[in-house]
């Protein structure tokens, strides 16, 4: 298990953006918003999933592989520079070109000196209407991990990962204090308001449950605005280890949300809710099976 740092109160900045067709404009906006968050006191900043482009997985088009880039590359160089300039830990999400025909949805984590402390390749890849990610992304092969930064132990998962309790648990067991979920999720066209609200509630509830079950902070950063056929629902939020929502961004507007996270609450909560203590690890082997036949 990663060594837990002394109690501190990092201020997390959630950059909720709308995205234009031009990746250069989106990168410029993200860099500006990182600076804004830092000037307001953020010590950790998280960008939304695939922030450099509009959400391109709504169609299957080989031409869109041109959006992918190597890691390290020019974008990671620019992000390292802004992390170092503003002395913030930075969680970013990129379309990685690993090799010809092998692409990943990858998060890169920078420390406040601009150094790369780790990366995570999205493990769970959806294939749903308007979310045709299996066409673009190879499933991650780096596993679940914690990234030790100067501001705390950060676990990073990506969007569809947020529905899987196993991912949150395995990351928390390695000592993560904050779970970050860069996200791109919205409503499908033609669905009724009642269904839209139910989908959003399920999304939020699932992540609050990860915070409770693992005694950690959960940070979900979604995009906002209309792109193609999707209306992204924003509402980026932070939940504390008790599952309480500390702050939530707008459903429609761009916003840079700042939230202080008192890491001492992790131990306080776990002392009263010792879920990690009471796990029956001797009985969980069947979890590695797809289904358990009767």
Active site residues: 49, 122, 159
> What is the spatial distance between Cα 34 and Cα 14, in angstroms, rounded to a whole number?
9
| Cα–Cα distance measured from residue 91 to residue 199, given in angstroms and rounded to the nearest whole number | 26
The partner residues of 109 in beta bridges, in order of sequence, read 91, 118
Residues 110, 151: Cα–Cα separation, whole Å: 11
Whole-angstrom Cα distance, residue 242 to residue 56?
35
Nearest 5°: the CA angle 128, 223, 165 is 55
Pairing of strands 44-47, 11-16: parallel
* Residue for token pair 């501190």: 8
CA 161/CA 158 separation, integer angstroms: 5
DSSP code of residue 9: -
Residues of the chain by 3-state class (helix, strand, coil), percent to 5:
30, 30, 40
Q: What CA–CA distance (Å, rounded) separates 52 from 138?
A: 19
- What is the DSSP code (8-state) at residue 252? S
Number of other residues whose CB lies within 10 A of the CB of residue 102: 12
Phi, psi for residue 43 in degrees, rounded to 5: -115, -20
């Amino acid at each position: 298990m990663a060594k837990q740092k002394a109690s501190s109160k990092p201020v997390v900045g959630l950059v909720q953006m709308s995205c234009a067709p031009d990746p250069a404009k989106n990168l410029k906006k993200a860099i500006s918003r990182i600076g804004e968050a830092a000037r307001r006191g953020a010590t950790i900043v998280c960008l939304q999933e695939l922030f450099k482009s509009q959400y391109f997985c709504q169609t299957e088009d080989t031409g869109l592989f041109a959006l992918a880039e190597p890691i390290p590359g020019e974008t990671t160089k620019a992000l390292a520079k802004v992390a170092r300039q503003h002395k913030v830990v930075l969680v970013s999400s990129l379309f990685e070109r690993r090799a010809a025909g092998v692409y990943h949805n990858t998060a890169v984590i920078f420390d406040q000196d601009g150094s790369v402390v780790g990366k995570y390749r999205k493990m769970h890849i959806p294939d749903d209407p308007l979310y045709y990610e299996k066409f673009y992304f190879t499933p991650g092969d780096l596993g679940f991990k914690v990234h030790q930064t100067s501001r705390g132990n950060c676990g990073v998962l990506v969007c569809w990962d947020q529905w899987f309790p196993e991912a949150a648990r395995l990351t928390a067991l390695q000592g993560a204090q904050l779970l970050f979920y860069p996200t791109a999720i919205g409503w499908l066209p033609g669905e009724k308001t009642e269904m839209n609200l139910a989908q959003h509630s399920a999304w939020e509830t699932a992540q609050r449950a990860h915070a409770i079950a693992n005694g950690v902070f959960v940070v979900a950063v979604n995009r906002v605005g209309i792109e193609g056929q999707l209306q992204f629902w924003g509402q980026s939020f932070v939940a504390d280890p008790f599952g309480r929502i500390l702050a939530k961004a707008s459903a429609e507007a761009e916003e840079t949300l700042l939230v202080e996270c008192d890491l001492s609450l992790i131990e306080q909560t776990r002392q009263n809710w010792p879920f990690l203590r009471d796990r029956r690890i001797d009985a969980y082997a069947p979890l590695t099976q797809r289904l358990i036949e009767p």
